[in-house]
């Protein structure tokens, strides 16, 4: 959140990359709601200002929360507000530059930052653990389109950090009669996927490709029997140079379930 202090915005912007503009409380609530914050989350607010996002995450959503803020006066104000809200055990405030802060433990990161700062953060955000939720007020990541957008007085954007799956994969899929191996290649831009598969050595399409965090899904057509082509619906989880999960083989109204796994080539 862009934080608040009783000095003019113009004067403060001489010292900090992010001037102080407070986020309305209803927007704070919406940001945390859209990110589905809960008691198991660790929320980091970058540029935490007067601490309202951090305190709200703890008081209303039960999360642990950390505010990162350069302005010492705002850190003091935030700590006082946390004591008044009786959430001292759930929150802490760090007086430091968030470009130099380790927030790899975060499950949710909240931001109200200027476009240039968002752009500088984008690549770092993409390196976070897949599934990390990023939520911002007003300003987005430009060509990295959000997974969700809502408007409650202000625009709120949600991104879910995707696993990195671009490249060539060898897939071993359970099918009637045993296991079948095929190759596929995935192309990726943020959470947008496409590619192709070589099922039975013949080039074919990948359909309905999706990635959300470390969850992936795609569809392949098994055309080895041209009279009875089967649609294979894959769903799975991405690990380190590996994937695995379940697939449903569908021919008309007949369905069968199998396992599949894949390794990076």
Is 63:39 a contact under the CB 8 Å cutoff? yes
- Residue 18: what pLDDT? 59
pLDDT of 125: 97
Nearest to 223 by CA among 237, 204, 242, 239: 204
**Position 220 in a domain:** yes
* Shared domain check, 114 and 27: yes
What one-character-per-residue DSSP string does 224-255 give? SSGGG-EEEEEEEEE-SSEEEEEEEEEETTEE
Residues 64-79 pLDDT 10s: 999 999 999 999 999 9
Whichever domain contains 146, its CATH number is: 3.40.50.150
Last residue of a domain, one of 129, 160, 191: 160
Across the strands, what pairs with 192? 189
Query: What 3-state class would DSSP assign to 100?
Result: helix
Residue 156 and residue 90 share a domain: yes
Q: What local confidence, expressed as pLDDT, does residue 228 receive?
A: 83
Structural domain boundaries, residue 20 = 9-160
The radius of gyration of the chain from alpha carbons, rounded to an integer in Å, stands at 23
231 near 205, Cβ under 8 Å?
Answer: no
On whether both 18 and 50 belong to a single domain, the answer is yes
pLDDT of residue 8: 30
For residue 16 the two structure tokens come to: 């900090």
Q: Same structural domain for residues 85 and 103?
A: yes
Within 85-137, where are the H helices? 115-126
Q: Are residues 153 and 41 in the same domain?
A: yes
Residue 30 in 3-state DSSP? helix
pLDDT at position 19, please? 65
pLDDT at 174: 92
Place of tokens 């690990």: 239
3-state secondary structure of 28: helix
Strand order in the sheet with 154-160: 91-95, 64-69, 42-46, 108-111, 133-137, 154-160, 148-152
Q: How far apart are CA 220 and CA 61, in angstroms?
A: 41
Q: Which residues of the chain have pLDDT under 50?
A: 1-15
pTM above 0.85, yes or no: yes
Tell me, what's the pLDDT at 14?
35
How many structural domains does the chain have? 2
Strand duo 108-111 + 133-137: pairing: parallel
């Amino acid at each position: 959140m862009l934080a608040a202090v009783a000095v003019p915005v113009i004067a403060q912007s001489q010292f900090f990359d992010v001037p102080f503009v407070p986020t309305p409380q209803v927007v704070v609530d919406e940001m945390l709601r859209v990110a589905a914050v809960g008691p198991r989350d660790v929320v980091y607010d970058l540029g935490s200002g007067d601490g309202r996002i951090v305190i709200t995450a703890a008081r209303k959503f039960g999360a642990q929360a950390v505010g990162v803020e350069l302005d010492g006066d705002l850190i003091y104000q935030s700590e006082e507000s946390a004591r008044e809200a009786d959430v001292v055990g759930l929150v802490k405030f760090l007086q430091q530059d968030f470009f130099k802060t380790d927030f790899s433990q975060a499950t949710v990161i909240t931001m109200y930052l200027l476009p240039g700062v968002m752009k500088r953060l984008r690549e770092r955000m993409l390196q976070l653990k897949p599934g990390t939720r990023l939520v911002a007020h007003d300003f987005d990541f430009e060509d990295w389109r959000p997974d969700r957008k809502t408007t409650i007085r202000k625009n709120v954007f949600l991104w879910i950090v995707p696993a990195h799956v671009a490249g060539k994969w060898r897939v071993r899929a359970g099918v009637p009669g045993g296991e079948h191996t095929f190759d596929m290649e995935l192309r990726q831009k943020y959470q947008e996927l496409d590619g192709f598969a070589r099922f039975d050595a013949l080039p074919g399409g990948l359909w309905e490709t999706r990635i959300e965090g470390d969850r992936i899904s795609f569809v392949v057509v098994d055309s080895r029997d041209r009279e009875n082509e089967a649609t294979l619906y894959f769903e799975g989880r991405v690990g380190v140079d590996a994937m695995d999960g379940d697939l449903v083989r569908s021919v008309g109204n007949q369905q069968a379930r199998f396992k599949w796994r894949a390794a990076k080539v």
